[in-house]
Amino acid sequence: MSLRLDDQLCFALYSAQRAVTSAYGPLLAPLGLTYPQYLVMLVLWEEGEASVKHLGERLALDSGTLTPLVKRLEAQGLVQKARSTEDERVVVVSLTSAGKRLKKKAEGVPKALVCAMGDGMPDLVRLRDALKELARVARSADTCGAAESE
């Protein structure tokens, strides 16, 4: 593989990620959410509540990134934080009633995104599954003789 930018897998993924994230912007604006906040809300809508550690694991975010996201969602009245009753070191994030109501408004976002992407749902599902597999493989990959230096 060459060192041409257009030949790089990393750049194709980076460029696609930026474009898809941008496509979410107009869909999330009416909800008052940024894309990273939307991801946090997706986990909470799915699970009801989650520790900050679990949110970080699900979203592949470190606490330095996640903590301000949760604080902004809390300031918007969408989530609340509390110490776990089993282990006070654990902070649990849960939905408020406003956060639960927002789920109904957000239900059209995935369909609107698919529509914005040209309505190729079967292709998008295959792409999503391929990207999940790529991420799985990349997490366990060895470096195959990292970049050779002189």
C-alpha distances in Å from residue 105, one per residue of 33, 99, 110 = 12, 10, 11
Q: State the pLDDT at residue 139.
A: 87
**How much is the average pLDDT of 2-27?**
94
pLDDT band at 142 (very low <50, low <70, confident <90, very high): confident
Q: State the pLDDT at residue 124.
A: 85
Q: Is it the case that residue 45 has pLDDT exceeding 90? A: yes
pLDDT-wise least confident of 74-78, 120-124, 135-139, 144-148: 144-148
Q: Is it the case that residue 150 has pLDDT exceeding 60? A: no
Q: State the pLDDT at residue 146.
A: 59
Q: Of the candidates 106, 111, 101, which has an alpha carbon nearest to the alpha carbon of residue 33?
A: 106
